Amino acid sequence: MATDNATTIDVILHAIKKLEQMDYKFNVIVNLDVTVPFLRMKDVKGSVDLLNRKKCDAVFAVYKQHLNPYYNIVEKNSNGFLKIVKPLKNKPKSRQLSPVVYQMNGLHVIRKEIIVKTKTWYTSKVLPFEIPIETGLMIDTPFEFQIAKNMFKIFNRD
């Protein structure tokens, strides 16, 4: 499955098929991306608990984001000029007054039957499980890797 074109969903569906062939019985898939090394076990347990308590398809760990598509995230328009990604009719006076947005990270808890049926985990019934930004840091850039290295040094001083 380790190819440039393989998606996480492809890998999960392959794993489900193999585990079922070995007679494993399970209803929930927990995906922990390797790029999020500071996730805590209590966040995993809390996400699974939320999935079991609520009528939803999945639970994603998230943290509040200061970058906001209603206020300070922009893209180029067809003329090359910047425009707000999600403009509101009444522009917020500050980022703090903008609708709250979240950053997803690498903790996804999904009902097995949903992912098998839909071949995705992005359904309309995904609930957030809010975690601290420090434990949700994703390492997707060299800069974020440097942040993670410094965090690891700080966490392991004892």
Q: HSE (CB half, 13 Å, CA atoms) of 11?
A: 12
Fold of 29-111+120-149: Spore Coat Polysaccharide Biosynthesis Protein SpsA; Chain A (3.90.550)
CB of 114 closer than 8 Å to CB of 46: no
Going from N- to C-terminal start, the domains of the chain cover 29-111+120-149
pLDDT of residue 158: 57
pLDDT of residue 81: 98
Residue 25: band (very low, low, confident or very high) from pLDDT cuts 50, 70, 90: very high
pLDDT over 90 at 154, yes or no:
no
Determine phi and psi for 33, rounding to 5 degrees. Answer: -70, 140
3-class secondary-structure state, position 50: helix
Q: Within 10 Å of residue 31's Cβ, how many Cβ atoms?
A: 18
